[in-house]
Amino acid sequence: MEIVKICIIAVIFGVLIVFLRGVNPELAMLTLVSSAGIILFLTIRLFNGVFSVFERLSQISGVSGDVIGLIIKITVVCYIVEFSVGAIEDFGLKSLADKLSLMGKLVILGMSVPLLENLINVIVSVAG
Protein backbone atom coordinates (compact mmCIF):
# COMPACT_ATOMS: atom_id res chain seq x y z
CA MET A 1 0.00 0.00 0.00
CA GLU A 2 1.25 3.40 -1.00
CA ILE A 3 0.08 5.13 2.18
CA VAL A 4 2.28 2.84 4.30
CA LYS A 5 5.31 3.86 2.24
CA ILE A 6 4.46 7.54 2.70
CA CYS A 7 4.07 7.08 6.46
CA ILE A 8 7.40 5.24 6.73
CA ILE A 9 9.12 8.01 4.77
CA ALA A 10 7.52 10.62 7.05
CA VAL A 11 8.72 8.82 10.18
CA ILE A 12 12.25 8.50 8.78
CA PHE A 13 12.29 12.21 7.94
CA GLY A 14 10.94 12.99 11.41
CA VAL A 15 13.76 11.10 13.12
CA LEU A 16 16.31 12.74 10.82
CA ILE A 17 14.94 16.22 11.55
CA VAL A 18 14.97 15.66 15.32
CA PHE A 19 18.60 14.51 15.08
CA LEU A 20 19.60 17.44 12.87
CA ARG A 21 18.00 20.04 15.17
CA GLY A 22 20.68 19.33 17.75
CA VAL A 23 23.53 19.28 15.25
CA ASN A 24 22.61 21.86 12.59
CA PRO A 25 19.28 23.71 12.98
CA GLU A 26 19.51 25.32 9.52
CA LEU A 27 19.92 21.93 7.86
CA ALA A 28 17.06 20.58 9.97
CA MET A 29 14.78 23.33 8.66
CA LEU A 30 15.85 22.66 5.07
CA THR A 31 15.22 18.95 5.59
CA LEU A 32 11.80 19.73 7.06
CA VAL A 33 10.76 21.77 4.03
CA SER A 34 12.18 19.18 1.63
CA SER A 35 10.46 16.31 3.40
CA ALA A 36 7.15 18.14 3.36
CA GLY A 37 7.48 18.69 -0.38
CA ILE A 38 8.36 15.05 -1.02
CA ILE A 39 5.47 13.79 1.10
CA LEU A 40 3.09 16.20 -0.63
CA PHE A 41 4.27 15.03 -4.06
CA LEU A 42 3.87 11.36 -3.12
CA THR A 43 0.39 12.04 -1.75
CA ILE A 44 -0.75 13.90 -4.87
CA ARG A 45 0.19 10.87 -6.96
CA LEU A 46 -2.47 8.89 -5.08
CA PHE A 47 -5.21 11.08 -6.53
CA ASN A 48 -4.88 10.10 -10.19
CA GLY A 49 -8.18 8.22 -10.28
CA VAL A 50 -10.14 10.52 -8.00
CA PHE A 51 -11.00 13.07 -10.67
CA SER A 52 -12.66 10.47 -12.90
CA VAL A 53 -14.82 9.47 -9.92
CA PHE A 54 -15.91 13.08 -9.47
CA GLU A 55 -16.76 13.27 -13.17
CA ARG A 56 -18.94 10.15 -12.88
CA LEU A 57 -20.62 11.56 -9.77
CA SER A 58 -21.37 14.73 -11.69
CA GLN A 59 -22.98 12.75 -14.50
CA ILE A 60 -24.99 10.52 -12.16
CA SER A 61 -26.24 13.32 -9.91
CA GLY A 62 -26.93 15.85 -12.65
CA VAL A 63 -24.85 18.45 -10.82
CA SER A 64 -22.91 20.72 -13.15
CA GLY A 65 -19.28 19.85 -13.70
CA ASP A 66 -18.47 23.48 -12.88
CA VAL A 67 -19.91 23.03 -9.39
CA ILE A 68 -17.92 19.85 -8.81
CA GLY A 69 -14.80 21.58 -10.15
CA LEU A 70 -15.33 24.50 -7.80
CA ILE A 71 -15.75 22.17 -4.83
CA ILE A 72 -12.48 20.44 -5.77
CA LYS A 73 -10.71 23.81 -6.09
CA ILE A 74 -11.98 24.92 -2.68
CA THR A 75 -10.79 21.65 -1.16
CA VAL A 76 -7.36 22.05 -2.76
CA VAL A 77 -7.11 25.61 -1.42
CA CYS A 78 -7.95 24.29 2.07
CA TYR A 79 -5.18 21.71 1.91
CA ILE A 80 -2.60 24.11 0.48
CA VAL A 81 -3.33 26.74 3.12
CA GLU A 82 -3.30 24.16 5.93
CA PHE A 83 0.00 22.75 4.66
CA SER A 84 1.53 26.23 4.42
CA VAL A 85 0.25 27.28 7.85
CA GLY A 86 1.78 24.15 9.39
CA ALA A 87 5.12 24.81 7.71
CA ILE A 88 5.17 28.44 8.83
CA GLU A 89 4.30 27.40 12.40
CA ASP A 90 7.21 24.94 12.27
CA PHE A 91 9.44 27.93 11.47
CA GLY A 92 8.22 29.50 14.71
CA LEU A 93 6.22 32.25 12.97
CA LYS A 94 2.81 31.76 14.60
CA SER A 95 1.64 35.32 13.89
CA LEU A 96 2.30 34.97 10.15
CA ALA A 97 0.66 31.53 10.16
CA ASP A 98 -2.47 33.00 11.76
CA LYS A 99 -2.67 35.69 9.09
CA LEU A 100 -2.24 33.12 6.34
CA SER A 101 -5.00 31.03 7.89
CA LEU A 102 -7.33 34.05 7.92
CA MET A 103 -6.44 34.83 4.30
CA GLY A 104 -7.23 31.25 3.33
CA LYS A 105 -10.63 31.43 5.02
CA LEU A 106 -11.44 34.67 3.19
CA VAL A 107 -10.40 33.17 -0.16
CA ILE A 108 -12.56 30.12 0.50
CA LEU A 109 -15.48 32.36 1.43
CA GLY A 110 -15.06 34.27 -1.83
CA MET A 111 -14.82 31.06 -3.84
CA SER A 112 -17.97 29.73 -2.16
CA VAL A 113 -20.23 32.57 -3.33
CA PRO A 114 -21.12 30.88 -6.66
CA LEU A 115 -22.06 27.71 -4.75
CA LEU A 116 -24.35 29.73 -2.49
CA GLU A 117 -25.87 31.38 -5.56
CA ASN A 118 -26.54 27.97 -7.14
CA LEU A 119 -28.08 26.70 -3.91
CA ILE A 120 -30.41 29.71 -3.69
CA ASN A 121 -31.42 29.25 -7.35
CA VAL A 122 -32.27 25.59 -6.71
CA ILE A 123 -34.31 26.48 -3.62
CA VAL A 124 -36.20 29.20 -5.52
CA SER A 125 -36.90 26.88 -8.47
CA VAL A 126 -38.18 24.11 -6.19
CA ALA A 127 -40.28 26.47 -4.06
CA GLY A 128 -41.71 28.44 -6.99
pLDDT of 108 higher than 90: yes
Sign of CA dihedral 69, 73, 78, 82: positive
Backbone phi, psi, residue 47, to 5°: -95, 20
pLDDT tens digits, one per residue of 43-81: 888 777 777 787 888 888 877 878 888 988 999 899 899
Measure the CA–CA gap between 108 and 23, rounded to whole angstroms: 40
Query: CA-to-CA distance for 118 and 127, rounded, in angstroms?
Result: 14
Domain ranges of the chain: 1-46, 49-128
Task: Specify the pTM.
Answer: 0.69
